[in-house]
Structure 1
Amino acid sequence: MNKIELMMYSQPNCGLCEEAKLQLELAKEDVPFTYRTVNITEDDLLLERFQLRVPVIMYHDEIIQEGIIDFVTVTEALAKYL
């Protein structure tokens, strides 16, 4: 089985980012994966790229979802990598 590690681009004081973490935890009940949170405010290039789009969930170079994250979309997107 493939090991799936997602990247979640976020920033401090982001309510959508906190909700995204909850949604990712729900998705983990159906699809095994890990995720790493990256604070975009610590990298100027990431800040420029994602500032108005966070949270952004990515697998490799593919954006799984951005903005409002829901576990159904994440689960369905990751199922194809199993």
Structure 2
Amino acid sequence: MTVKINFYTRDRCPLCDKAKADLLEIREELPFELEEIDIETSDELTEQFGLMIPVVYLNGEEAGYGIIDKLYMRNLIRESSRLK
């Protein structure tokens, strides 16, 4: 089974842009499914994640939010890949 990342984001979010670039760079090394979700398409998501974005869920569990550490995220994805 493939590692799945849900990436909650919105327009005009520099932290989101940086986190997305980091995730895409990690994906060049470690394969995973990436679903990008714009929280502004849902009032519920905006309320849930509004001040936290970007938010990264790894296989259904919150893995990080705000400033996403690329090395930490790479290690989480690598470890999750081994467990699958």
TM-score by length of 1: 0.88
Match of 1:26 in 2: 25
Using the TM superposition, give the Cα deviation of residue 78 of structure 1 relative to its aligned residue in structure 2, in angstroms.
1.4
CA deviation vs aligned residue, 1:26-76 (integer Å, no higher than 9, x gap):
211332112111010111111101000000010233111111113211111
Is 1:6 equivalent to 2:28 in the alignment? no
Runs ≥4 in structure 1, deviation > 3 angstroms? none
Q: RMSD in angstroms over aligned alpha carbons?
A: 1.3
More helix, by proportion = 2
Aligned 1:53-64 pairs, distance under 5 A: 53-64=52-63
TM-score by length of 2: 0.86
How many Å separate the matches in 2 of 1:21 and 1:10?
9
Identity fraction in percent: 28
How many Å separate the matches in 2 of 1:80 and 1:23?
17
Q: Per the alignment, in what secondary structure is the counterpart of residue 29 of structure 1?
A: helix
